[in-house]
């Protein structure tokens, strides 16, 4: 067989390519192995960060959040939730600090903005959980009369107290049904009914629910006619809900008056006052300019028929004052409306109504300001807005 140099060169090139590919594959496998180990370390390390951060929170604060999350129906570990909250607040604060740094804001103002953003994040997180707690409690209170009525009917039909309670927990009852399932589970594990019901009061922040549970436990211990007791409690709760709805209807006019005054009346008056200040500031400047020209022309300025002093407040100061006053009016107006509608100072309705009223009030003021400025622009020569 004759020697072919071309074939030999071709085989050598192929072997070289195969060898290089093998080396690259080995390097790639080594890199993937290192990457998989790194990702495995990260996947084990990252989940442990929030609990460690949450553990650094003071014990009293952790206990308050633990109770709040229990009332909200959150079953996550308190340290873990607090860790995520702290990470979220730190990220928000850093975002504001970076934005201030890019805009060229002074260092101390940037620091104050970062601290304010961090504290605001914590407050907003707490308020969000508090809103969930309040809505969950209200949801339980709304369906509690129907649950007690069904339980009374089931006991009267011959069911045991346990079966009557469990069968009365309809899925449409929402959080109350979930709590009754938990009570049933505790009873199956050997916990007495009284103790299981008392544990339920530790998971629902409602004085009304706690009062009903105490009455039910009293009825169980006294050996009285439990169906009649449950039916009477249900009727009392329905009567109380009817009175609350009647109170809301009767105070609707007062709530509407406050709403109109805060959202329309006050912004309109402040917008007119701002335009008045701007107009008279320009008139005062023109009068002083006219006096100056008269004096330079050789006439005494004392013979002028109009003598006006300078305005003690400018439009910029009054604009800032207006925004602050409208914020205060909107905040307390929302609180009063919530008090008239629900009888409580701090509810989820109040908390959600406050930012809505603040935005509407200030927004309507800015709208009225622009409209009135357009109307009087013929009277204001060379005037500018705030």
Q: What is the pLDDT along the chain (386 residues), one digit of tens a residue?
A: 454 566 666 566 666 676 777 777 778 777 767 766 765 665 565 667 777 877 888 888 888 888 888 888 877 788 888 888 888 888 888 888 888 888 887 888 888 888 888 888 888 888 888 888 888 888 888 888 888 888 888 888 888 888 888 888 888 888 888 888 888 888 888 888 888 888 888 888 888 888 888 888 887 777 667 788 888 888 888 888 888 777 777 777 777 888 888 888 889 998 888 888 887 777 766 665 555 455 555 544 444 444 445 556 777 888 888 889 999 998 888 888 877 776 666 666 667 778 888 888 889 999 988 888 887 775 554 444 44
Determine the Cα–Cα distance for residues 317 and 386; give it in Å rounded to an integer: 9
Spell out the residues 6+ positions from residue 172 whose beta carbon is closer than 8 angstroms to its own.
Answer: 143
Nearest 5 degrees, angle CA 40-CA 41-CA 46? 105
Please report, for residues 118, 183, 280, 281, 305, the alpha-carbon distance to residue 308 in angstroms, rounded to integers and kept in the order given. Answer: 49, 79, 10, 10, 10
Spell out the residues 6+ positions from residue 155 whose beta carbon is closer than 8 angstroms to its own.
Answer: 161, 164, 226, 227, 230
Average pLDDT, the chain: 78
Please report, for residues 5, 13, 23, 165, the alpha-carbon distance to residue 10 in angstroms, rounded to integers and kept in the order given. Answer: 9, 5, 20, 86
- Spatial CA neighbour of 179 closest among 207, 158, 202: 202
Determine the Cα–Cα distance for residues 219 and 208; give it in Å rounded to an integer: 17
The whole-number pLDDT of residue 38 equals 61
The domain 141-245 is placed in CATH, from the list 1.20.81, 3.30.70, 1.10.101, 1.10.3470, at: 1.20.81
The whole-number pLDDT of residue 357 equals 86
Report CA torsion sign: 36, 85, 200, 242. negative
Please report, for residues 126, 278, 325, the alpha-carbon distance to residue 273 in angstroms, rounded to integers and kept in the order given. Answer: 39, 9, 14
The whole-number pLDDT of residue 304 equals 47
Pull the structure tokens for residue 178.
């979930």
Rg of the Cα trace of the chain? 36
pTM: 0.66
């Amino acid at each position: 067989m004759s020697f072919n140099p071309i074939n030999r060169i071709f085989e050598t090139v192929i072997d070289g390519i195969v060898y290089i590919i093998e080396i690259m594959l080995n390097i790639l496998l080594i890199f993937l192995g290192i990457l998989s180990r790194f990702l495995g370390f990260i996947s084990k390390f990252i989940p442990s960060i929030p609990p460690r951060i949450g553990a650094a929170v003071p014990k009293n604060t952790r206990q308050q959040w633990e109770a709040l999350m229990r009332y909200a129906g959150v079953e996550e570990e308190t340290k873990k939730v607090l860790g995520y909250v702290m990470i979220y607040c730190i990220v928000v604060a850093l975002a504001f600090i970076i934005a201030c740094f890019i805009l060229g804001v002074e260092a101390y103002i940037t620091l104050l903005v970062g601290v304010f953003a961090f504290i605001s994040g914590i407050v907003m997180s707490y308020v969000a959980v508090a809103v969930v707690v309040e809505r969950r409690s209200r949801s339980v209170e709304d369906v509690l009369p129907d649950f007690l009525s069904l339980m009374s009917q089931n006991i009267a039909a011959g069911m045991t107290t346990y079966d009557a309670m469990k069968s009365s927990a309809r899925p449409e009852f929402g959080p109350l049904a979930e709590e009754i399932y938990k009570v049933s589970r505790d009873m199956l594990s050997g916990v007495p009914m009284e103790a299981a019901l008392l544990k339920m009061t530790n998971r629902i922040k409602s004085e009304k629910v706690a009062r009903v549970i105490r009455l039910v436990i009293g009825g169980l211990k006294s050996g009285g006619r439990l169906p009649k007791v449950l039916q009477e409690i249900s009727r009392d709760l329905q009567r109380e809900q009817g009175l609350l709805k009647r109170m809301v209807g009767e105070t609707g006019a007062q709530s509407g008056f406050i709403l109109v005054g805060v959202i329309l009346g006050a912004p309109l008056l402040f917008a007119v006052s701002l335009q008045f200040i701007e107009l008279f500031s320009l008139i005062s400047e023109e009068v002083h300019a006219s006096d100056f020209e008269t004096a330079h022309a050789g006439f005494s300025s004392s013979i002028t028929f109009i003598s006006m002093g300078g305005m003690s407040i400018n439009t910029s100061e009054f604009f800032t004052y207006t925004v602050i006053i409208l914020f205060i009016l909107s905040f307390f107006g929302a609180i009063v409306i919530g008090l008239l509608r629900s009888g409580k100072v701090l509810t989820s309705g109040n908390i959600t109504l406050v930012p809505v009223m603040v935005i509407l009030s200030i927004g309507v003021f800015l709208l009225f300001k622009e409209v009135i400025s357009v109307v009087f622009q013929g009277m204001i020569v060379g005037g500018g807005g705030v």
